[in-house]
Structure 1
Amino acid sequence: MTDELSSPTTLRVAVAGAGLGGLCLAQGLRQAGIDAGVYERDPAITARFQGYRLVLDPAGLAALRGCLPHRWHALLDAIVGDAYGERLVLDPQLNKIGELGPGRSGTVVDRHVLRHLLLTGLTVRTGAALTGYALLDDGRVEARFAHHDPVVADLLVGADGVGSAVRAVLSPRTTPTDTGVRFVIGRTPLTGQFAGLTRAFGSKIAGNGVSLLLGAMRFRTPPKQAAEELAPEVTLPDVGDYVRWAMILPPGGSAGGMSPQEAVLSRIEGWHPDLRALVEQSDPDNSTLLSIRVVEPRERWAPGPVTLLGDAVHATSPTGGNGANTALRDADLLRRCLTEGRENLVDAVGGYERQMFEYGAEAVRHSLGALPAFVPQPAG
């Protein structure tokens, strides 16, 4: 049985993907009185750990606030932290050997905590992997799923990441590019033992043919406590301050059959004891090897009842620090375009896409330009 519109005059949006961008859009549309359903391919919201530190720039933070209910703004301010760091290049014993250049001011947020905030009040159907869609004669779109009834909507938004199933149909010639760079990421509780690493936060530690990047997540208020005090209808994870670490491997590098944690430890023998302890004390379940792939928005399609958002159309290298920011900016822009132009959906979507293509392409270029400064050369 196909889900139908509840009313001929109700604008209905189907969002494929429950990442930050898709959830932010759904929250923004909800505030505007637009029906938005979210469909996630993962079997459960917590199927994959997504709890790493992100840096939001002023535009990304403003976009997020634009999509959240005003009553949650105080909570958002309480659960973030301040970005800081000297942006130095350090050797394995934490001696300064260079500088990375001027840093970005911003606000740090935990992805896991932010995702729980964005999930509040939304209906998300999990286990709903999109298999394709069809354009209907009345201008709407029918989205089809592997384990869910088809859904008819006025607009289908592909917010389903680098491997977007929506993009595969809408823009099949837009495909991900593998940069060949691999990195291991993990997190470790920020205890007093690591107070001496402050200089390394925001810096690059280079040696043995690898680069290690550290970033501190210090919450202004513990998230669970902040929600209980400021927005009791919101339930946030009980997490404490931590250090996010990421080791960038040389081109062609791999874990070599070892666990991600073991792969890092094998490459930092003889390094400063606090650095080794940081990796040793990390949660092995939350350490993983990832590839850096990008998607460049090139092919323009005719505006219609299907569009893309975030990594599905402009996936960036994490070294640019703009992936989440650009996805949030997409969400807020599409929210505003749909709210202001809901009487003419095609024009509203076209207006969104014109702007998104321009700044999305620039975000990808910027991230690729920043990548070489962080990629180590193989040890000779």
Structure 2
Amino acid sequence: MRVAVIGAGLGGLCLAQGLRGAGIQTEVYERDPAIAGRFQGYRLMLSPIGLEALHRCLPRRWHALLDAVVGDATASGLVLDPQLNQVGELGTARTGIVVDRDVLRHLLLTGLTVHTGAALTGYDVLDGAGHDRVEARFAERAPAAADLLVGADGVNSAVRGLLSPHTTPTDTGVRFVIGRTPLTDRFAGMSRAFGAKIVGNGLSLLLGAMRFRVPPQEAAAALAPEVTLPDVGDYVRWAMILPPDGSLDDMAPQDAVLSRIRGWHPDLQALVEQGDPDNSTLLSIRVVEPRERWAPGPVTLLGDAVHATSPTGGNGANTALRDADLLRACLTAVTEGSRDLDAAVDDYERQMLTYGADAVRRSLEMLPTYSASGS
């Protein structure tokens, strides 16, 4: 069996690692001109489902490395005002495991065949003995034939646009400003604000610390020398969610936040001022809700390509990792002879569309809470 994965995000790479471990020939095609063509380095929280999916898809020899480069998330569960005074409680604080997206992506890239500069322009379904095959077409490279084409190419998925054109992204109108700042001693003293919601002026500012159990490069050298991880230190991830009518006024990300927190606690202002401008960005919160099922065949979707969530739900990456593990298991059953490919893909899609739609719904339910005025 040969699988072509479109998109080198976390979900697509996790799938490729899982299939590689199962002996299934897999190649990844990424439209970006280089693997590090754009920054992808914020922290994310791994749910038990996401962490288990990663462990099942990664080679067992890397499990210790993964466990070394994650961090332990702590959350105060408080609502604070702009001067960091407690004004309420969020309820049960979310704690768990956090991982740096860029570090995880480099781990997942190890040993894979990834073709960059491979922008998909279309695909053709080919008649084959026993089941149809598919040939992917690219703008600047030769076509690639496979038994299964997996669209793991994000919210703007080219594969989804061809396979399920009626499934389109929806802009919630909410804007998201995110950045990161090295975790110095000064900011380490703000621990009660980590995992809290800071509200004022109709805005919410959210802070989260990324403290590696072991520095990534040091951990790789000791536990898996064949893996190259980025040289990154502990940091604070800060994010501001603006209400639907919040204009960004074409500002740089840090300026967009600083202009809205004048008069706030000096540590909060310093945190944003000292952020790395290359690691700060402005985002529109868009979602993709799974619609009616597409026609069965040798093409399917994974992750944000089919169920992009609002970041307020904290479940987008975890759901993509769950997809990868589920599809790995379904395709492994094909190689073991217990089912055919069509049945395996059908089983994957039925399960994925159900829990994927639920993940989007739950993320949208969280959105009004985080973008409320707090005044």
Using the size of structure 2 for normalisation, the TM-score is: 0.97
Q: How does 1:1-380 map to 2 (within 5 A)?
A: 11-138=1-128, 139-342=132-335, 343=337, 344-377=340-373
Q: Deviations over 1:323-377 (max 9, x none)?
A: 0000000000000000012451100100101110111011011101111110033
Residue 185 of structure 1: CA displacement? 0.4
Taking the aligned partners of 2:12 and 2:190, their CA distance within structure 1 comes to 35
Q: Deviations over 1:173-219 (max 9, x none)?
A: 01111100001100000010112210111111111221100000000
Taking the aligned partners of 1:211 and 1:17, their CA distance within structure 2 comes to 32
Taking the aligned partners of 1:255 and 1:363, their CA distance within structure 2 comes to 28
Which runs of no fewer than 5 residues in structure 2 stay unpaired?
A: none
Residue 104 of structure 1: CA displacement? 3.1
Q: Deviations over 1:276-307 (max 9, x none)?
A: 01001100111110011001112112332000
Q: Deviations over 1:242-286 (max 9, x none)?
A: 000001112122321221111111111111111001001100111
Which runs of no fewer than 5 residues in structure 1 stay unpaired?
A: 1-10
Taking the aligned partners of 2:28 and 2:181, their CA distance within structure 1 comes to 32
Is the partner of 2:190 in helix, strand or coil?
Answer: helix
2:75–2:95 Cα contact (<8 Å) kept: no
Taking the aligned partners of 2:59 and 2:104, their CA distance within structure 1 comes to 14
The letter of the residue matching 2:342 is V
How many residue pairs get aligned? The number is 369
Residue 99 of structure 1: CA displacement? 1.6
1:255–1:263 Cα contact (<8 Å) kept: yes
The letter of the residue matching 1:136 is L
Is the partner of 2:51 in helix, strand or coil?
Answer: helix
Is the partner of 1:251 in helix, strand or coil?
Answer: coil
Taking the aligned partners of 2:32 and 2:17, their CA distance within structure 1 comes to 20
The letter of the residue matching 1:233 is E
Taking the aligned partners of 1:330 and 1:129, their CA distance within structure 2 comes to 23
Q: CA RMSD in A?
A: 1.1
2:17–2:57 Cα contact (<8 Å) kept: yes
The letter of the residue matching 2:312 is T
Taking the aligned partners of 2:47 and 2:250, their CA distance within structure 1 comes to 37
Taking the aligned partners of 2:283 and 2:251, their CA distance within structure 1 comes to 14
The letter of the residue matching 2:343 is D
Residue 378 of structure 1: CA displacement? 9.8
Taking the aligned partners of 1:105 and 1:299, their CA distance within structure 2 comes to 35
1:160–1:311 Cα contact (<8 Å) kept: yes
2:77–2:94 Cα contact (<8 Å) kept: no
Using the size of structure 1 for normalisation, the TM-score is: 0.95
Taking the aligned partners of 1:144 and 1:376, their CA distance within structure 2 comes to 45
Is the partner of 2:189 in helix, strand or coil?
Answer: helix
The letter of the residue matching 2:349 is E
1:94–1:200 Cα contact (<8 Å) kept: yes
Is the partner of 2:31 in helix, strand or coil?
Answer: coil
Identical positions, percent? 77
